[in-house]
Amino acid sequence: QVQLVESGGGLVQAGGSLRLSCAASGRTFRTFSSSAMGWFRQAPGKEREFIAGIAGTGGITDYAESVKGRFTISRDNAKNTVYLQMNSLKPEDTAVYYCAGRIYYAPARSSSEYRYWGQGTQVTVSS
């Protein structure tokens, strides 16, 4: 059983920064370094949306246009952990942020491509 646990969410003022972490534990899917990871978010009344993805060894990253240049996804395979550094936060970034894992190497933008999900962490950006 794979478990993904997010941390690092909270309340921040517009223009501020937060760093989310997602730690994978349990029976790993293949090996962590072979598995793409992604971050998604869901605001109240909206569908879950892709934010960022990273390939197994980190050589390929992908970002939604809404966060490109402000958010950075990275991973530490020695710690089975993926990160999302969020800078220049805006009120519209307010959402529950989810970490997700694929069983394939390359990241994907569709949530249906991800097999494993964390429980989510709340990010609230005040104006």
pLDDT score of 7 more than 70: yes
Of all residues in the chain, what percent carry a pLDDT higher than 70?
A: 98
Q: What confidence category does residue 120 fall into, taking pLDDT thresholds of 50, 70 and 90?
A: very high
Q: Does the CA dihedral 70-11-83-50 come out positive or negative?
A: negative
* Predicted local distance difference test score (pLDDT) of residue 63: 98
Rounded to whole angstroms, the Cα distance separating 103 from 56 reads 10
Q: Is the pLDDT of residue 95 over 60?
A: yes
Question: pLDDT by residue (tens digit) across 58-73?
Answer: 889 999 999 999 999 9
